[in-house]
Every structure is written in C-alpha cells, then in structure tokens.
Structure 1
C-alpha cells in the first residue's frame, strides 16, 4: 500500500450539524462556525473556501439527465465501476478516483446550468451574505456531491500543502438525509474536518502550552485552588494543581511536568487575596492579586 499524505485507515473527525433550519441562514451559520474554528487554530490563511450549489430535487433530476446523456457517449471509456454506476446511480461517477474517469469529468456538464428558478435565488442569497460578511470564497462549479440526499450549498476548505488530499474541511446541506435513514423530513446542514489533516497543517507551528502549576498549602488553599484553576482555564491557560507532599516535592513535580510558572497559595496569601507567583525557569517570585493572575500570566508568557 502507498497511503497518501493525510489519509489513514481510520478517519477521526470533528464537526458541526444544524437540523431544522431549512433557509439559507443555516448554510451561513455553518460556514461562519467553520471560519471561526479555522481562525482559532490559526489556519484560516492556509486554506481557501470553495463552494457550489447542488440546487433542489428538480435541479438534481435535470443534472442527472444531462450527466447520463454525456457519459453514455463515452460509456466504453469509463471504468468498469463507473459503467455500473451509469446504470444505477450516475452521480456516483463524480466521486470516481479512476484517472480515465477524471479526464472525462473535466468536460462533463456543470451542475450550475441545471439549477431551477427556485434553487438559484437560494444560492444567490448565500453568496450575497458571504460578501456582506467579508468572507472570502471561490465559486467552484466543479464541486459536487455524489449522494442523493445532498442539496443546495456544498462547500470545502482546501489547502495546497497536503497534496492530493487537500480538503481539510467539507460540508453542505443534506435535507434528504434524515428521511433517507428512515426518519421524518428534517432539513440539515453541517460540516466535518479531518483531525489528522488539521494536525498536519499545524505541524511545525504548534507546541502544547506549558502548564501553570497551582500549589495549595492547606485545606483552605485547596478549596481556593479549584476556583483559580477554573478562572485560568476560562482564559485558555493550561492549569494543573499539585496536591500532597511538602512545597519542595510539589515544585519538583511541577518542574518535571514542564510548568513555566507556579502559583503558591498558603494562609498568608489567602489573607491578602494574592498568590506567590514563581517563575520556575528564572527562580524569581512576585505577589499577584488573584483577580490579576490571568492577565499577569498571559503577559509573561506571550
């Protein structure tokens, strides 16, 4: 086997699904969440958003007819699998990885030419709203889905740094999925991102942050440590509390855990509403008020 970069036997994903919103607003919300997700990871500038419309059911029927007519002319040039697909589900040819099939797909009918007058305004509204929000995108008329339950907006975030497996995050509207699985008619839109591919893009630019060690000395300080840990984590600061043993042993454990800073809390510190902040790399100490700790730590670690 020759596995491609970013493609493994097991696929791990993270994603978002929105059910019950059948207007274009759901498509925009899904894309906005994806934008924020990739921005928080620092990856938005490494990928481009591509999207297309698959229209409604009538649009798909129109497109299927054109697709069958086109591929029937080249039936003998199709792979065996795609010849079978042509009879059973011609849209699955769009997902073919066969090199010969891919060449034929370059001149295949475009989905956009089959949109009904009801479907086109939906996509127009999506594009108009993305423009209003300042979200950059590329309308890719070749972006399609081979499964029947997909409709209207299909989108992907693509990177040029991952070779053939360039899609990092893919999504779209799938109003027919729930009914396809035996449930009621419920509209849906969402996306999934491959964790392994995200990690590949982060490779070399991502290092786990060093934790802040919280060292409470005494029962009252231990109760306070829960509050402080929660306060720091709410500010995206990694915090780990060290219990048991004397101060020296706990500091050794904190150093072994690669903590950058230790917050030492005893009765004296509690009385002053302060923590003794020790920079473990330098050995220096400073008293900092509890309500200033998060800002102080962010400042010294930035």
Structure 2
C-alpha cells in the first residue's frame, strides 16, 4: 500500500525550531518583563470576533478589511473573522466586560494575528504581534509612557541602533477636519494625475493618498498642504507636551509631518519606529492615539492610545547569541546513574541549563551533547565532578551539592570568558 502524501503547511504560515524559535521567545520574554516594569496588565482576547468589530474599527474602505481579512460564516450563519490586529478586540472587551471601571486601563498582550496577503520575508499570513494599549486616558503623558516603553523594549532587545522614532500629530477633530478639507481640494485639482487607487480613496479616505507608494501619486502627495497650517492651539499644545515629555525621558525622535493614519477616529499622536535593516519592510513598531475608536464601536467617548509590533520582525533584528550557558551531565559508570540524575536536579535548582543526551553509552552521550552545542560537559565520577570545556576543572565531592552547583556556574563562566571558548 503506498504511503499517503505528507500534508504541506498552509501558505504563509511557519514552523519554528532552534534559532528562529529562540529569537521569538526572546522578544516575548523581554516584552513581558518590560510591560510589568511599566505597570501594564496582561490581557487575553479571543482570536475570533464578529466581523463587524473589525469592519467598524479598521474601516471598510481599507485594504485590510476589503482584501486581507479571514472572514467567513460559522455554522450558525454568523459572520466571524480571525483577528487581523489586537486593538479592536481589546476595545470590544473594554465595553462588553465592564473594564471601564478600571480606566485608565493599561493592558498588554501578544499572540497570532491573520491577514491574507502575499507572503514575503518578515511577513506571513499567520504572524504574531505584541501589543500595548492605554484606554481612558486623554493626557499626553499616556502617549509619552507608551513611547518610552517601546523605546526601552528596543534597547533591552539590543536592536535600538539603527531604529528611528518617526513622530507626527494628527491634531484634534477641528484640526483634522480642516486639514482633510484642504487635502480634498488639493487632490481634486490634480485628480487626473492620481492613480486609480488614490482616486477611489479621495471620497472616503483622502489622508491615505499621502503615504501612497505609487510613483504617479508622489508629486501630488508631496505638494499637498501640511497639517501644521491647520493645527489648533489646543492640538499644538498637546503635541508639544508629548515632544517635551519624550525629551525629558531621553527618547530620541524625529518629526515626520507626512506620517498619517487614514481613519477619522485617530487623533493627535501618530508614530512609527523604522529601520533600514529589514529592506522594504522598514516599520518595526507603530501606533498612535485613537480617541474615537471605542465610540465607533458603540461605546462612550474614550480617549485611548496604543501600539503594536510584529514579533517576527523584531526577532529578525535580535542577536542570535544565547546568553545562557548550557551543560550536559554524563558518567562512564552505569552504577553512578542515580548520582548523575541527582547532579542534574541540583544544577537545575541552581538555575543552570542542563541538556540530557538520550544515548546508551557515555561516548555517544558526549557526542550527542557536543552536537547539540552545549558549552561544557560535566562528568560525574565516584569521588569528584569534572567539567570539560576549553580545559578541565575538577570539583571534589562524590555528589554535586547545591553550593557546588552554584560555584560551577561562576567557575565555568569565568573560564569561558578568560579563554574565549
């Protein structure tokens, strides 16, 4: 009977092992530590939501809703969608779960998101994001804290070099309305020079023309009126408070007056952390203030701000070096197997990483350990414990006790540092 054909992975998904999985885990672990430092509470929201949650929040005229969402009817005939981002689901939960009582609410999460688009380097149809939001805070200090948190995350991941914070203001409702009218008038004057996509956006989403990548649109977009000419004094004061706060917090930034968000519920701060180290996919973290989103979902006016970042993209920028030393413990005497297991337990209790080579003989165990890339092999013998890395070190004692296990880490790390092994 022929073997069945091996199933292939769904296009745009990924399996992770080894270095890729380690990079992924490092991003998540660092994010979880940093969000606790800033007092952000962990939150979980469903992977699947009613389609209207995203249609209202992301905007039906956007490519995400019209072309990229995984939407379908379930067996009950209800329209549902796999989440393409986190913010809308968090805002829905804020309303339906009574989280308004905790406002201002600082929450953070991470997990898979789904968009049907052409897979390429750093972009998948199922990918993963980290996300941080502050709901119910109208003060510019919330924007500053979120940006400082993002900046610290990038520094703690050691990827801040070569990453630039681009910052802009979208103003308040009065500012945005006046600027939108000026943009529509400008684009209408040059309608014949615009691409088909930009012409279709002109009625519903004219701000999106400003960041069009179509070469036909660039001359018209580059000559469009700027927001500063329409900025109210209140909006100007808000933006000044954000920039002064970032300066005081030591967060470096650059003004990008063409950085926009197309939907009407966005207000005030918009930002992106960008790099040239990922080719065309240059944005590593982005967000802004969305004071009208909760209201668009049927709730009360709720000033809010947040950001998200792709875990895969951040992982591509991280260092591959593993900061932890890894050990294997073996013995050439089967009578010492119990002592080997006890030594392993004590080493792990002391916080040391120990791999177990599943092989029958000591020689094969050592070969397996070396192949797995351990930093040092610990040999348990009747009267001592010997560590083999770049040179041999012997600790007395027939069984490794906790004090010796702790000393082992210090001694061997010092040995490797001094020898360059």
TM over 0.5: yes
Q: Secondary structure, in 3 states, of the residue corresponding to 1:18?
A: strand
Aligned match of 1:37: 153
8 Å CA contact 2:290–2:304 kept in 1: the answer is yes
Aligned match of 2:308: 192
8 Å CA contact 2:184–2:202 kept in 1: the answer is yes
* Residues 222 and 174 (structure 1), Cα distance of their counterparts in 2 relative to 1, 3 Å cut: same
1:177-256 alignment runs, 5 A limit = 177-202=293-318, 206-208=320-322, 211-213=325-327, 215=329, 217=339, 220-221=342-343, 223-228=345-350, 231-232=351-352, 239-242=353-356, 250-256=365-371
8 Å CA contact 2:210–2:222 kept in 1: the answer is no
Q: Secondary structure, in 3 states, of the residue corresponding to 1:255?
A: helix
8 Å CA contact 1:218–1:266 kept in 2: the answer is no
8 Å CA contact 1:6–1:196 kept in 2: the answer is no
Aligned match of 1:273: none
Q: What is the rounded CA distance, in whole Å, between the counterparts of 1:32 and 1:135 in structure 2?
A: 6
* Residues 102 and 9 (structure 1), Cα distance of their counterparts in 2 relative to 1, 3 Å cut: farther
The question of 1:61 aligning with 2:183 is answered no
The question of 1:82 aligning with 2:204 is answered no
Q: Secondary structure, in 3 states, of the residue corresponding to 2:153?
A: helix
The question of 1:285 aligning with 2:401 is answered no
Aligned match of 2:127: 12
Shift of 1:240: 3.4
Q: What is the rounded CA distance, in whole Å, between the counterparts of 2:378 and 2:288 in structure 1?
A: 47
Q: Secondary structure, in 3 states, of the residue corresponding to 1:45?
A: coil
Q: What is the rounded CA distance, in whole Å, between the counterparts of 2:150 and 2:412 in structure 1?
A: 29
CA deviation map 1:256-290 (0-9, x unaligned): 21101245679978xxxxxx46233x351243744
In the superposition, the TM-score normalised over structure 1's length comes to 0.78
Q: What is the rounded CA distance, in whole Å, between the counterparts of 1:189 and 1:263 in structure 2?
A: 52
Shift of 1:33: 1.9
Cα RMSD for the two superposed structures: 3.3
Shift of 1:300: 4.0
Shift of 1:99: 1.4
* Residues 113 and 182 (structure 1), Cα distance of their counterparts in 2 relative to 1, 3 Å cut: same
The question of 1:259 aligning with 2:381 is answered no
The question of 1:167 aligning with 2:275 is answered no
Q: 2:250 aligns with which of 134, 146, 171?
A: 134
Shift of 1:108: 1.0
Shift of 1:74: 0.9
8 Å CA contact 1:278–1:285 kept in 2: the answer is yes
Shift of 1:174: 2.0
Q: What is the rounded CA distance, in whole Å, between the counterparts of 2:381 and 2:297 in structure 1?
A: 59
Q: What is the rounded CA distance, in whole Å, between the counterparts of 1:51 and 1:89 in structure 2?
A: 21
Q: Which runs of 5+ in 1 are unaligned?
A: 233-238, 270-275
In the superposition, the TM-score normalised over structure 2's length comes to 0.58
Shift of 1:35: 1.5
8 Å CA contact 1:48–1:158 kept in 2: the answer is yes
Aligned match of 1:24: 140
1 or 2 for the larger relative contact order (CA 8 Å, sep ≥6)? 1
Aligned match of 2:24: none
8 Å CA contact 1:48–1:138 kept in 2: the answer is yes
* Residues 11 and 153 (structure 1), Cα distance of their counterparts in 2 relative to 1, 3 Å cut: farther
Q: What is the rounded CA distance, in whole Å, between the counterparts of 1:149 and 1:295 in structure 2?
A: 55
Q: Secondary structure, in 3 states, of the residue corresponding to 1:169?
A: strand
Q: 1:106 aligns with which of 199, 222, 245?
A: 222
Q: What is the rounded CA distance, in whole Å, between the counterparts of 1:19 and 1:155 in structure 2?
A: 15
